[in-house]
Structure 1
Amino acid sequence: MPETIAPGARPTRDDSGGRPPVVLGRPLRVLAWLSFLAEVIIIGTGGAVRLTGSGLGCSDWPLCTPESLVPIYEVQGIHGIIEFGNRLMTGVVGLLAIAVLLLTLKALGGRRSVVSALWFALGGIVAGAAFFAIAMLFVEEAFPFFTLGLILATITGAVHSLRITPQRRDLSLLAWLVLIGVVAQAFVGGITVLTGLNPFIVGFHYATSLILVCVTAAYLVRARQQGGQRVSVVPRWFAVLSHVTGLALAATIFFGVLTTGSGPHSGDANVIRDGFDATVLAHVHSWPGYILAALVVTLTVSAWMLRLPPRRWLIVLAIAIVVQIGVGIWQAREGLPEILVGIHMVLASLSAAAYTVTVLKLKRPVESGEDAVRSARA
């Protein structure tokens, strides 16, 4: 039988301290969905940059060239446009992250929380400018230090915001993590260009983008639930097996990133790969993939037999994994065509998002005393 509240345990209140439940307006919900979709899309546009050999379409950062913010078609051609388009998508992702954060803070902490975040934003610009001015005295490429100042200010703002947020700190934390991740991504993206598309940094850039997809997915799930204490709704063995499945998924993605880093799609014809044998890595990448598939099938069958709450999302995860394996085998047999590699990259992010939702469904919020009575009578 699934685990429930221990006998004699008293349901706890939401973390609102007795305040009315948080109401998230429709605009915030729509923006949260757009933020999730944008995080998935930017993986696709980033993949397009790499798969079309446009990684150095813009040779500089944050400008496209030392003389121009935008690409010059006569000089850089379509590669410059593709790379610059991905940079513009980063701006869209950033604006959505800011909008979701500010609306979340307004819903949770009111005007005080929003004003505090805006002050930290101003402080971040000042700190970034100071970092930039100091770095110019020692290095030629100083702009990454401006971004570093923004990251530090954003992290500081997040810590302060969480301290003054009166309720639903889980939503506040998730919204801040997305913004911090986007700013950090801009920093890593700049380093990627300045290091000439180092394959390890490119792989890290993709992995962090995938994590942001999972965080935005987690926000969507938690936004539909009440806060406070959560209790397990599945047997302990099922929860353990679910987390083991997460390790298999992480290993599959990790070796997939290494495999791509040793394959033919480096982002530019003159970029040196990471030195690993792509053929060997392709097989190593498949092993945790097949283990992952077996674990997901086991969880899915068990969940439906026991009628556990995560069963519907496990169906989604199982379909994503099966399609992912099919595309992986197809692309390997066809010599890694660009379109299939791109689909494989996006599917990996969707698989990770589906797994994130599944894990969050392993627990449910504890009902208030009044809700518990109503549930018992129903």
Structure 2
Amino acid sequence: MSKSADFARRALSPASAFLLFSQSAIVVTGGAVRLTSSGLGCPTWPECVPGSYTPVPNQAEGQLHAWIEFGNRLLTFILVLSALITLIAVLKSGRRDLRILAGGQFLGIFAQGVLGGVTVLTNLNPFAVASHYLLSTILIAASVSLYTRRHIPCIKKSSNRQSDLFSRWHVVGAFIVVVLGTILTGAGPHAGDVDAPRIDLRIQTAALMHGLAVILLLLITVAFFRGDKTDHETKELLVKFFLISIAQGSIGFIQYLQGVPELLVAIHLLGAVLVWIGAWRIWLSVQRQGMDTAR
């Protein structure tokens, strides 16, 4: 192995870790934009205001809202740089099995930028906002896969059909919880702007749907854990997932009773990222075979 390839393989760990952190962080900062009603702090796109890519003095939206939204947009450039470094590390290391994941990250970030522009230009249409978040969910899953597979190839197990089915139900259940969470958000009060449209659905109904999906996911988690063919590594991940999900559900229930205060909503958003990462790691643990060194 050449020195450059060896360096690239060693660089892949910190590069993919920072990419995962960045993909997760931008979800939280995007939530901060919404919770501070700064979604239209920069009312146009790609410019912040007509004629300027940055906020301007005496902007009608207010300096605080403008700079919060502008700061969130700037994080996209950090994501692009992180994805580019990871892609170069993958290409130089000779890890052909990771090229689609790394390239998909790079392209997905640009797609996210375009979708963010659509979100602004549609005055924070709740379905555009939800799509924006769900694309981040997909990119987070891909970055988890990149980080997890940096040393180990993902080889599908063919001898454990029970765990394979459980892992599929589990990750699909987690994604349904996320989707219903975006619908609940779209029907709730934190739209990102006081004049933004909302989903025409009673928040009580949306909360009930979301809560029932969470209960179903927890039941799948318990059944998966009790499965006689579930290995030790997966069981450890399931325990962690269950505990995080219980904490997340408790926060969600408390914030609902308290009228969704901003701080609890922000914590719940971070928890949603952790729950999704946990679910995806469980799926990967079943898809991975042994500790074989990647080719």
Same fold, TM exceeding 0.5?
yes
Query: Using a 3 Å threshold, how does the CA distance of structure 1 residues 310 and 232 change in structure 2: closer, same or farther?
Result: farther
| Alpha carbons 1:232, 1:362 under 8 Å: kept | no
| Alpha carbons 2:157, 2:289 under 8 Å: kept | yes
Equivalences for residues 215-226 of structure 1 within 5 A? 215-226=142-153
| Alpha carbons 2:177, 2:213 under 8 Å: kept | yes
Root mean square deviation of aligned Cα: 2.1
| Alpha carbons 1:309, 1:362 under 8 Å: kept | no
TM-score by length of 1: 0.71
| Alpha carbons 2:9, 2:90 under 8 Å: kept | no
- Of structures 1 and 2, the larger Rg is shown by 1
The separation in 2 between residues aligned to 1:49 and 1:271, in whole angstroms, is: 13
Query: What is aligned with 1:335?
Result: 259
Query: Using a 3 Å threshold, how does the CA distance of structure 1 residues 208 and 83 change in structure 2: closer, same or farther?
Result: same
Query: What is aligned with 1:203?
Result: 130
1:41 aligns with 2:15: no
Query: What is aligned with 1:158?
Result: none
1:326 aligns with 2:258: no
Structure 1: tracts of 5 or more residues without a match: 1-21, 109-167, 372-378
Determine helix, strand or coil for the equivalent of 1:29: helix
Query: What is aligned with 1:105?
Result: 91
Equivalences for residues 1-378 of structure 1 within 5 A? 23=6, 24-75=8-59, 76-108=62-94, 168-226=95-153, 229-232=155-158, 235-302=160-227, 307-365=231-289
| Alpha carbons 1:49, 1:86 under 8 Å: kept | yes
Structure 2: tracts of 5 or more residues without a match: none
The separation in 2 between residues aligned to 1:367 and 1:44, in whole angstroms, is: 33
Determine helix, strand or coil for the equivalent of 2:288: strand
Return the offset for 1:343: 1.8
4+ residue stretches of structure 1 with deviation over 6 A?
Answer: none
Return the offset for 1:338: 1.1
Return the offset for 1:83: 0.2
Query: What is aligned with 1:165?
Result: none
The separation in 1 between residues aligned to 2:148 and 2:79, in whole angstroms, is: 19
Deviations 1:159-182 (A, max 9, x none): xxxxxxxxx433111101111110
| Alpha carbons 1:58, 1:84 under 8 Å: kept | yes
Q: Which amino acid aligns with 2:251?
A: V
The separation in 2 between residues aligned to 1:367 and 1:25, in whole angstroms, is: 17
The separation in 1 between residues aligned to 2:290 and 2:242, in whole angstroms, is: 29
Query: Using a 3 Å threshold, how does the CA distance of structure 1 residues 365 and 271 change in structure 2: closer, same or farther?
Result: same
Deviations 1:71-125 (A, max 9, x none): 12532220001100100111111110111111211111xxxxxxxxxxxxxxxxx
| Alpha carbons 1:192, 1:198 under 8 Å: kept | yes
Aligned-pair identity (%):
33
Query: Using a 3 Å threshold, how does the CA distance of structure 1 residues 37 and 278 change in structure 2: closer, same or farther?
Result: same
Determine helix, strand or coil for the equivalent of 1:231: coil
Q: Which amino acid aligns with 2:157?
A: V
| Alpha carbons 1:300, 1:318 under 8 Å: kept | no
| More deviation, 181-190/60-69 | 60-69
